[in-house]
A and B are shown apart, each in its own frame.
Chain A
């Protein structure tokens, strides 16, 4: 997909990549009550748009690239603290099919196969075209005292993000700040009485159901040990049954809802000193959504 740009837009694009102090940031027109976080559906949409843009850039650079699939909403839920829905539990158990799918994509996707067949210098050129060059790095300071992280500048992944979100470096630093909040509230949340009460109710429910566990963490540890020796079909049946029990108790105790609500509360509080980044993060994502929806496909 090649986009045609007018001269003005071309200038703007150059500014997105290089940074132009006088240009208004493209996400800044989103303000007030329009500022909100994205839904899961919208996140899938912008990630798919990002893949399309990476492909367009790589093609421009003379490299073949086939778009990677992006994780579905259900797949994203497999890392949740507790399974919230019986539907999900019945369909996926503990997400074994997502693990297999992920491994298959990582190793047999067309882009991976192409990349790995290249001779050494070709592989290096390809990686630099896609990921940038680490010798020129962007740094993001993580919130609290969590240190710093770095990523290469340049490359098609950054260019795709510049086109989508409005600025590659601001996107990286903002995203890293906001998405690294969990360690700062994890412990306090788990000590909150509302959480411990719901967890006790979940544990009591599990005991009444004949599957006693102290917590979903405890359950996952024991489940992993149990299924390791099982053949696939047995493991899948075991998983589904246990997952349905977990989810039923999560609904009965409201544990799923409680942790979701508490996370929203604790995250908002944790991000208060970073309100500018939180604001920018949401605006950039909304801008990305706008870009994704306007793009010719």
Chain B
């Protein structure tokens, strides 16, 4: 991961980009089995999140958006906002964009596309693919369904 230096907090806040969840360069994929079982058995049309690696510890699932995983409504509630360590996307139309914290419009976001289907370990994924911004693990606070092009372009 490249380290980037910033002059000020304002400069950091102004920077936006979208990355895709995957394996970090140092990760190995020795036990993807459990998440694949979850994926195969999952209800089509939904995304789901889990408190532990390898899709253990089911937290919740969603067919729509939830812009606040910490409040008392929506598919994710309360402590869910500091819990997700693995995720599944079995939506058949659209991809899932996760955001750091609540609100669904944070500067820091990351996509999980249908082609990949799941991420069994969020510890080696970083917001904006940059370690400076911290690991995605336990920090997803909101999500939306988006078109795949919004994960790869500013202007379609």
Contacts and interface: CB of A to CB of B under 8 A. Distances in A.
Given A102-B145, A186-B18, A225 B155 contact: no
- Most A CB contacts (10 A, CB to CB) among B45, B67, B92 go to B45
Given A40-B156, A172-B115, A147 B147 contact: no
B150 to A, nearest CB: 2
A259 B154 contact: yes
Interface in B74-131: 91-94, 103-107, 115-117, 124-125, 128-130
Given A106-B94, A225-B103, A190 B23 contact: no
A interface secondary structure, majority? helix
Contacts of B93: 68-69, 71, 102, 105-106, 109
A208 B142 CA distance: 33
Interface string B21-64: 11111010100110010011101111000000000000000011
Contact of A135 (B16, B24, B36, B107): B36
B105 A179 contact: no
Contacts of A263: 153-155
A203 to B, nearest CB: 12
A187 B151 CA distance: 15
A147 B105 contact: no
Interface in A103-158: 103, 105-107, 109, 111-112, 115-116, 120, 123-124, 127-128, 131, 134-135, 137, 142, 144-152
B67 A224 contact: yes
Interface residues of B, number: 62
Interface stretch (A20-28, A79-87, A284-292): A79-87
Given A80-B150, A142-B22, A217-B107, A106 B63 contact: yes
Contacts of A148: 22-23, 25
Given A102-B94, A109-B93, A190-B16, A182 B22 contact: no
Nearest to A264: B155
Contacts of B1: 145
A45 interface: no
Given A76-B149, A147-B27, A134 B116 contact: no
B155 A80 contact: yes
A224 B152 contact: no
A79 B29 CA distance: 32
B135 interface: no
A146 B19 contact: yes
B155 A142 contact: no
Contacts of B15: 186-187, 190-191
Most chain A CB within 10 A, of B20, B29, B124, B154, is at B154
Contacts of A68: 92-93
Residue from A79, A105, A145 whose CB has the most chain B CB atoms within 10 Å: A79
A181 B154 contact: no
Given A123-B40, A183-B128, A76 B22 contact: no
A252 interface: no
B27 to A, nearest CB: 7
A180 interface: yes
Interface of B: 1-2, 4, 11, 14-25, 27, 29, 32-33, 36, 39-41, 43-46, 63-65, 67, 91-94, 103-107, 115-117, 124-125, 128-130, 144-156
Given A80-B153, A99-B144, A152-B117, 9 more contacts: A102-B145, A116-B43, A124-B40, A134-B117, A148-B22, A148-B23, A182-B154, A183-B128, A190-B16
27 contacts: A40-B156, A71-B94, A76-B147, A78-B147, A79-B147, A79-B149, A79-B151, A80-B154, A84-B155, A99-B145, A102-B94, A105-B93, A106-B63, A106-B93, A106-B94, A131-B117, A135-B33, A146-B19, A147-B25, A147-B124, A148-B23, A181-B152, A182-B154, A183-B17, A190-B14, A220-B105, A224-B103
